[in-house]
Structure 1
Amino acid sequence: MLAHFSELSTWAQSQNYKPVAINQFTNNHADYLLIAYAMARGHTVATMEKSQPGARKRILIPDVCKAMKVNTTDTFGMLRKTGARLILEP
């Protein structure tokens, strides 16, 4: 997983993101750690975020994952695929 931090940082800095967005993403931000973990393990990342390739103020999970060739799904798609059931008891 540690090997992917450099790749993620290099990618973020090579884009047109504002410095504050890069700092928020790379300074122990959960998204940064999650994506590095998914890269290392070949996992799919579930997120409710939508891709915004033109964004500059915030680095979004789907955009990073696309660049890093990490699969993504939305949360509801993940629940359907895994067959999760939510049972509410009265």
Structure 2
Amino acid sequence: MSFRTAVELIAEATGRRIRYTPLEASQFTAALAAQGVPAEAAELVAELLGRIRDGAGEHVSDGVRRALGRDPRPLTNYIKTAAAAGVWGD
């Protein structure tokens, strides 16, 4: 699932108008640094998110089933539950 799709699902579930804006890694790290995130941490987060964006983790495994003893929930179910619980505030 792309970041854009995840954001669209969260927007739909919360009734909020939010959007995904793709950034270059340097733009993203600069934005984090402007918020007080240490440079090394910002670079690490940018690298990890870049890997996800580029397809790392696309392989589906049974890790959730083995760890939790149940099948995973679809992301849309989790988002609806979190939105109903007020995870993202009012």
TM-score class normalised by the smaller sequence: under 0.3
Higher strand share: 1
Structure with greater Cα Rg: 2
